[in-house]
């Protein structure tokens, strides 16, 4: 398919996130959870703005497209054996979901790693929903991508706050 507009990447990534049950507000709530201990006056609006800026980056959109596409294919049982079973079971030793997520975390430097590790363990809010295996949905990639966007947005917010204080 030549000439499908490249501009569609951001629009499609945002649409896919919404279709898979994740809103900007859900991710902003994770940012709030991560950052409010350090910024007691933090406003949700600031969290939302930082999430928007992270999603506006092409590398992040690429990760969203790739991860959600694989999740949906696994959900529809359209992948080859044994990848189909590995993704459908969300096997913990698979690890490629985390690698894709790290490509997002990397963007804003090393404190992103700390945030990502922490939120992946705590699984607050939308991350708990995405990890609910009783729904029949496959979110093997999406949970890591959402955690990574939150971690990257938190790093961005923290860097900006440090530069204005």
Binding site for Mg ion (CB under 5 A): 97, 140, 143-144
What minimum distance in Å lies between the beta carbon of 41 and Mg ion?
Answer: 33
Nearest residue (CB) to Mg ion, 29 versus 97: 97
Q: Rounded to an integer, what distance in angstroms lies between the CA atom of residue 24 and that of residue 146? A: 10
Nearest residue (CB) to Mg ion, 134 versus 164: 134
Q: Rounded to an integer, what distance in angstroms lies between the CA atom of residue 98 and that of residue 116? A: 10
Alpha helices by DSSP H, the chain = 8-19, 24-35, 44-55, 58-75, 83-89, 96-105, 111-122, 126-130, 142-164
Q: Which two tokens stand for residue 76?
A: 């529809």
Q: Rounded to an integer, what distance in angstroms lies between the CA atom of residue 152 and that of residue 147? A: 9
What minimum distance in Å lies between the beta carbon of 82 and Mg ion?
Answer: 17
Q: Is 21 left (phi over 0), alpha (psi -120 to 50) or beta?
A: left
What minimum distance in Å lies between the beta carbon of 142 and Mg ion?
Answer: 8
Nearest residue (CB) to Mg ion, 55 versus 74: 74
Select the residue whose beta carbon is closest to Mg ion and give its number.
Answer: 97
What minimum distance in Å lies between the beta carbon of 16 and Mg ion?
Answer: 16
């Amino acid at each position: 398919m030549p000439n499908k507009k490249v501009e569609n990447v951001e629009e499609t990534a945002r649409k896919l996130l919404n279709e898979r049950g994740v809103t900007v507000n859900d991710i902003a709530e994770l940012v709030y959870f991560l950052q409010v201990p350090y910024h007691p006056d933090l406003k949700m609006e600031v969290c939302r703005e930082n999430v928007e800026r992270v999603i506006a980056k092409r590398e992040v959109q690429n990760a969203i497209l790739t991860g959600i596409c694989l999740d949906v294919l696994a959900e529809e049982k359209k992948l080859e054996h044994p990848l189909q079973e590995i993704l459908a079971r969300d096997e913990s030793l698979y690890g490629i979901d985390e690698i894709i997520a790290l490509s997002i975390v990397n963007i804003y430097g090393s404190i992103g790693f700390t945030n990502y590790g922490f939120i992946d363990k705590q699984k607050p809010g939308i991350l708990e929903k995405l990890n609910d295996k009783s729904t029949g949905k496959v979110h093997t990639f999406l949970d890591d991508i959402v955690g990574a966007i939150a971690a990257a947005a938190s790093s961005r917010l923290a860097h900006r706050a440090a530069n204005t204080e």
